Amino acid sequence: MAVQRSQLPVSLAGKFKGSFAYYTITDRLPLILTKVIDTLHRHKNEFFEEYGEKGLQAEKNAIAYLSKLRNELQTDKPLIALNDNLPDTVLWNQFLEYHQNLSNEPPSWFQSPWLYTECYMYRRIHEALVQNPPISDYDVFKEEKEHAFFDSQQAIIALSTYLQELLKNIENQNEESLNEEFFKLIQVSLWGNKCDLSISAGADNSQKANPLQSVEDLKSFILVDHMEKLWLLLMKRKKINTQTSVTSTRIDIVLDNAGFELIADLVLADFLTSSKLVTIIHFHGKSIPWYVSDTTKRDLNWTIKQMGSANNKCMSSCGVSWEGYVKKGVWVYHDHLFWTLPHEFSSMAQVAPDLYAELQKSDLIIFKGDLNYRKLLGDRKWEFIVPFHQALNNFHPAPLCSLRTLKCDIQVGLKPGQGEKLSSTEPEWMITGKYGIIQFDGAS
- The answer to whether residue 289 is domain-embedded is yes
Domain count for the chain, please give it: 2
Helices (H), 252-292: 260-274
Residue that finishes a domain, picked among 130, 156, 172: 130
Whether residue 77 is found in the same domain as residue 157: no
Dump the DSSP string for 151-181.
HTHHHHHHHHHHHHHHHHTGGG--HHHHHHH
Same domain, 360 and 419: yes
Let me know whether 83 and 196 are in one domain.
Answer: no
- What is the pairing mode between strands 436-441 and 400-405? antiparallel
Quick one: pLDDT at residue 443? 73
Structural domain contains residue 95 = yes
The domain that holds 76 is classified in CATH as 1.20.930.60
| 257 and 119 co-located in one domain | no
| Residue 137 resides in a domain | no
Query: Domain boundary at 109, 130, 151, which?
Result: 130
pLDDT at 100 (0 to 100): 94
Instruction: Check whether residue 295 and residue 363 sit in a common domain.
Output: yes
Segments of 249-399 assigned E as strands: 250-254, 280-285, 331-335, 364-368
> Which runs of consecutive H residues, i.e. helices, occur in 254-337?
260-274, 297-308, 313-328
Domain boundary among 110, 130, 150: 130
At residue 368, φ and ψ (nearest 5 deg) are -90, 135
What CATH number did the domain enclosing 395 receive? 3.40.50.10880
Whether residues 83 and 178 share a domain: the answer is no
What phi-psi label fits residue 24: left (phi over 0), alpha (psi between -120 and 50 degrees) or beta? alpha
- In this prediction, residue 122 carries a pLDDT of 98
Residues 101 and 37 in one domain: yes
Residue 136 resides in a domain: no
Taking the C-alpha atoms of residue 405 and residue 386, their distance in angstroms, rounded to an integer, is 19
Is the residue at 363 inside a domain?
yes
Residues 46 and 163 in one domain: no
Cα atoms found within 13 Å of the Cα of residue 290, Cβ hemisphere only: 26
Residues (pLDDT < 50) of the chain are 1-3, 199-205
The pLDDT value recorded for residue 201 is 46
Q: Is residue 333 part of a domain?
A: yes
Per-residue pLDDT tens over the stretch 335-392: 999 999 999 999 999 999 999 999 999 999 999 999 999 999 999 999 999 999 999 9
Full-model pTM: 0.96
- Is residue 109 a part of any domain in this protein? yes
Residue 237: inside a domain, yes or no?
yes
Helix and strand totals (H; E) in the chain:
19, 7
Same domain, yes or no, for 149 and 75?
Answer: no
pLDDT at site 6: 55
Residues 176 and 116 in one domain: no
Within this chain, do residues 203 and 153 fall inside the same structural domain, yes or no?
A: yes
Domain span at residue 44 reads 5-130
Q: Are residues 359 and 219 in the same domain?
A: yes
**Which amino acid, residue 27?**
D
pLDDT of residue 83: 96
Q: What is the pLDDT of residue 244?
A: 79
Task: Indicate the SS3 state at residue 380.
Answer: strand
Q: What is the pLDDT of residue 241?
A: 85
